[in-house]
Amino acid sequence: MTHICYPSLFDSEKGAGMESMMTVRQVAELLGVHENWVYDHAASGDLPSYKIGGTRRFVREEIDLWVEQHRENGRGPKATRRRKRTERKPNRAKANRRPDEGQPRLFE
């Protein structure tokens, strides 16, 4: 007897169910990010995923839709623009050091 815990994931009209799901590694390669990034965003609910038997699985169509919604070119709903980086102040330790002073030596 076969039990289908996720009937929406197995649709005979679309083809195979679990075989078409992607692993964390495949999603990381697709998005060009580290696997830990995929785990973190999936666990937080930001990236659509299914936890099946202790492993995360992803549906390609849902990942494609997520990518489309998170584009940074202004077409997606969460488009963000990066702020121009401001110039940093010099570190006081370096600013107060005289030019003739070298680095302090630990061993002579």
SS3 94: helix
Q: What is the pLDDT of residue 78?
A: 46
How far out from the chain centre does Cα 92 lie? 36
The CATH number, out of the four listed (3.40.50.10800, 1.10.1660.10, 2.60.120.1310, 3.40.50.300), of the domain defined by the range 16-78: 1.10.1660.10
**pLDDT in tens for each of the 108 residues of the chain?**
444 455 454 444 444 456 689 999 999 999 999 999 999 999 999 999 999 999 999 999 999 999 999 887 655 444 444 556 666 666 656 556 666 666 666 776
Which residue carries 């696997």 as its tokens?
A: 35
pLDDT attached to residue 15: 47
The domain limits of the chain are 16-78
